[in-house]
Structure 1
Amino acid sequence: MSQAARKLTDTSAPNKGGKASRPFGMKDKIGYLFGDFGNDFFFILVASFLMVYYTDVYGLNPAFVGTLFLVARIWDAVADIAWGRFIDTRKSGKNGKFRPWIFRMSFPLVITGALMFLHIPGMSHGFYEAYAFVTYILWGTLYSTVNIPYGSMASVITSDPVERTSLSSFRTLGANMAGLIINVVGPMILFVNNKADADRFFFGAILFGILSLACYIACYKMSVERIVMPESTKDKSNIGQTMKGLLKNKPLIWILIASLTFMVCFMLIGAVNVYLFKDYFGNAKALSIVGLLQSVAVFVGLPLIKPLVGKFGKKEVAAGGLLLAAVVYGVLYFLPSASETLFIGILAIAMFGYGLFNLVIWAFVTDVIDYHEYLTGLREDATVYSIYSMARKIGQAIAGGVGGFAIAAVGYQSGVQHQAQSTLEGIHTLATLVPAVVLLVIFLMLVFLYPLNKKRTLQLATDLAEKRRAK
């Protein structure tokens, strides 16, 4: 860590009452962990099980569901930008600039999330389509109002590049703790006799909603915003200046493209895996084992991240993990007759690989926020983060649309006892070959096009600290 970066971190800004904030430490990491713990109780529930809920409980056509996901995610991308700009126009209060919004908006977000999984028996097919559209789009909009301030907050908790990597790792750990609960406990709650059960889904949504709300409150209570630009030195920005800076921000552009592509892949894997184990292997509850191993893979990777990033750099560690995952998915494609147990065992290696990427991805975002300030002199955390979040939402839109259309294209029929053999083969291809190709493409992007390697990231922290002191 550079001395300039260390000095900036240690001289934390005082709060509005004039009292210096406590030094950055484990309490901040755990508090930040709780934020994505809360986010992903619903995000992973939706990503993994909402499509099968819509197709098997509401009886909606997979292509219709794909269209809904596409439209909703595009709208969410617009909402992200609008909310990010709104947040950047707010002044920092005694509780910070971002934390209060996490607390305020978490309540309507959780209530709407539970209502998404409400099934009213005996209604028309058109009613279920309309209800799905309204509740899903409303939930996505409210998700932006919590997630944008949460993601933006990382850049003001600490300015130390290595500690930001720790925040990213703890954020991913929080997401995987939620994933562990959703993907392990979820199938046991949600399915009865290998079929989606409407009452169980609604009960699960309420249960996970309560846990989500508790996590948001913990994040609000345990986190501290330290990096506060004095009002007198803040530049008055406009959207023209911002966009000009964003277009010059090469690290941001390539991490946007890489993250968008990864989200397409990750969301597609989550959606297709439900059908893979429910229909191809005939055992939906095996998803619990997959969810458990996915979390174990992250737990194994977590203590390795800080020393690996310290030695090699974020870019290098993330790229290595992606390459490993791509190779493993390619191997699985050529093993169509593999047993369920063997498939899951090999899959665990791939989950460890892309888990390394997930553990450091949020540290990439804080780096590109700093790079935006270095280029423009403007500190616009929420705006830059919302641009990144928009890319992820577009990725989700593409994945939701592609996932629904792909499942429909391979011939999936809701309500039938057994799917056609050609459909099962198509599901296997979607779950193996497609991720192999996409992850390989992201690896190449990161290696050859993303410019912030270890040396340049450390230099950026030093140069930015010098510019701030010179103001």
Structure 2
Amino acid sequence: MGQSAQNLEKNSTAEFRKFGMKDKIGYMFGDWGNDFFFILVASFLMVYYTDVYQLNPAVVGGLFFFARLWDAVADISWGRFIDTRKAGKNGKFRPWIFRMAFPLVIVGVLMFVHIPGMSNGFYLAYAYVTYILWGTLYSTVNIPYGSMASVITGDPVERTALSSWRTLGANLAGLIINVVGPMILFVNNKADANHFLLGAIIFGVLALACYIACYKLTIERIVMDETSKPKVNFGQTMKGLGKNRPLIWFLIASLLFMICFMLIGAVNVYLFKDYFGNAKALSMVGLLQSAAVFVGMPMVKPLVAKFGKKEVASGGILLAALVYGVLYLLPNLTGTQFIGILTIAMFGYGIFNLVIWAFVTDVIDYHEYITGLREDGTVYSIYSMARKIGQAVAGGLGGAAIAAVGYNSTLQAQTAETLQGIHTLATLVPAIALAVVFLIIVFLYPLNKKRTAQLTIDLAEKRKTN
């Protein structure tokens, strides 16, 4: 009997409580915990390295590029490792979140330790060791977390709900990091080493609490019959993945979106700190970004039910691309005016983010349909690997781009050319990148509403007959 045929959902009334709000809240807590550090790192680690450690932005970009490529390898390795484990009484994925959360948070705090008076070489070496170790440990938590969405429930509509709740968790973390963060981290418009460490400790404790809540509140219901599980080598898996057209285009779109999203996060700090002269305005950006997602969240489920995931996600990303294009054409806006228009773009890519995680479960299902193999951890880890490659490219490009426009952390004020360059990086580049993502989703990603519904039916029939 094939592996997919044995991918059965246990009787929830006999052995588990039914899928419900408790699972959604628990799953939300998982990404809430993830993004306390992920968003802190994405938004503020570069400015910490350039302004506290006094490292060259291009050198920091090189660190980000190398580390994220390593993380991509760690993701796929950990995904394969997880898929070779048998499910225990607490499931296959949840226990790893609990086990690895503690070392992850400890190393996350260590990233923001500054020992005064050391050489640039010491600071660079310390940054490499702590940042790469943190990224590796992040894989050990994030891969099982992302993989378990497909075993919490098999219902495609409820999986969309899980995607929305996951994004809510990320935005709650973003709300705290991006609103409270600048108030803690910056003193007199400058990055402060002691305040960064204080922020890391606070956010680390909160992250740990969220991971524990995720572990306690969720249940893995879909359990593999390990007795008849076929042995599959990596070559067979890759051959199957190569046939998965939805996965391939989804990975490309996700990679480009991640490059754009990470670049926005890194450049926005310099945009508001130097171009608008007000780093703490980032708090308002963070507040409105979260508010945009909170407004969009109740819309997503009915919109997806009516139009489909692909259709809703592409509409959101097109809106964001158009707004960034408008912002590029309006360079003389005040900071407040810029934020007001930016909120519309944040709503657009917030809708995209609310839906995008549900794409993952669809491509996992498609992988099972065409290969007969249920490899949640492997498929999710390849998706995560694409995101890490995107982060690597964004980190390298971000650091190189900030250096290329002439940013100098020792200057009291940046030159006019540098400021214009920062504005272009923050507006025109996202407009182009998001437009390309839109074109990929619309014209190349094949799983529209009709085909996704048919996939669910076909897969259920295939499981019955195998």
- Cα deviations across residues 209-267 of structure 1 (Å, max 9, x unaligned)? 00000000000000000111212342221112101100000000000000000000000
- Cα deviations across residues 370-413 of structure 1 (Å, max 9, x unaligned)? 11111111111000000000000000000000000000000000
* Distance in 2, Cα, partners of 1:22 & 1:417: 60
Alignment match, 2:10: 13
Given candidates 257, 261, 268, the residue that maps to 1:266 is: 261
- Residue 393 of structure 2 corresponds to residue 420 of structure 1: no
- Residue 206 of structure 2 corresponds to residue 203 of structure 1: no
* 1:55-454 aligned within 5 A: 55-454=50-449
Please give the secondary structure, in 2, of the residue aligned with 1:347. helix
TM-score for the superposition, normalised by structure 1: 0.97
Report if aligned partners of 1:12, 1:23 keep a CA contact under 8 Å in 2: no
* Distance in 2, Cα, partners of 1:346 & 1:19: 52
* Distance in 2, Cα, partners of 1:32 & 1:128: 37
Please give the secondary structure, in 1, of the residue aligned with 2:223. coil
Give how far 1:453 is off.
0.3
Please give the secondary structure, in 1, of the residue aligned with 2:85. coil
* Distance in 2, Cα, partners of 1:14 & 1:310: 26
The one-letter code matched in structure 2 to 1:50 is L
The one-letter code matched in structure 2 to 1:153 is M
* Distance in 1, Cα, partners of 2:182 & 2:416: 25
The one-letter code matched in structure 1 to 2:261 is F
Please give the secondary structure, in 1, of the residue aligned with 2:224. coil
* Distance in 2, Cα, partners of 1:193 & 1:161: 49
* Distance in 2, Cα, partners of 1:173 & 1:233: 38
The one-letter code matched in structure 2 to 1:202 is L
Alignment match, 1:52: 47
Given candidates 13, 21, 26, the residue that maps to 2:21 is: 26
Report if aligned partners of 1:186, 1:204 keep a CA contact under 8 Å in 2: yes
Structure 2's unaligned 5+ residue stretches are 1-5
Give how far 1:12 is off.
3.6
The one-letter code matched in structure 1 to 2:171 is N
* Distance in 2, Cα, partners of 1:90 & 1:42: 27
Please give the secondary structure, in 1, of the residue aligned with 2:148. helix
* Distance in 2, Cα, partners of 1:252 & 1:205: 35
Alignment match, 2:3: none
The one-letter code matched in structure 1 to 2:373 is L
Give how far 1:19 is off.
5.2
After TM superposition, the structure 1 stretch with the greater mean CA deviation from structure 2, 135-144 or 454-463, is 454-463
Report if aligned partners of 1:332, 1:346 keep a CA contact under 8 Å in 2: yes
TM-score for the superposition, normalised by structure 2: 0.98
Q: Aligned Cα RMSD in Å?
A: 1.3
* Distance in 1, Cα, partners of 2:200 & 2:11: 40
* Distance in 1, Cα, partners of 2:23 & 2:459: 23
Alignment match, 1:5: none
Report if aligned partners of 1:235, 1:377 keep a CA contact under 8 Å in 2: no
Give how far 1:328 is off.
0.4
Please give the secondary structure, in 1, of the residue aligned with 2:406. coil
* Distance in 2, Cα, partners of 1:311 & 1:422: 48
- Cα deviations across residues 130-168 of structure 1 (Å, max 9, x unaligned)? 000000000000000000000000000011111000000
* Distance in 2, Cα, partners of 1:168 & 1:245: 25
Structure 1's unaligned 5+ residue stretches are 1-7
The one-letter code matched in structure 1 to 2:260 is C
Alignment match, 1:470: 465
| Consecutive aligned runs of 4 or more in structure 1 exceeding 6 Å deviation | none
* Distance in 2, Cα, partners of 1:440 & 1:129: 36
Please give the secondary structure, in 2, of the residue aligned with 1:224. coil
Report if aligned partners of 1:44, 1:182 keep a CA contact under 8 Å in 2: yes
What number of residue pairs does the alignment pair up?
A: 461
* Distance in 2, Cα, partners of 1:106 & 1:428: 38
The one-letter code matched in structure 1 to 2:10 is A
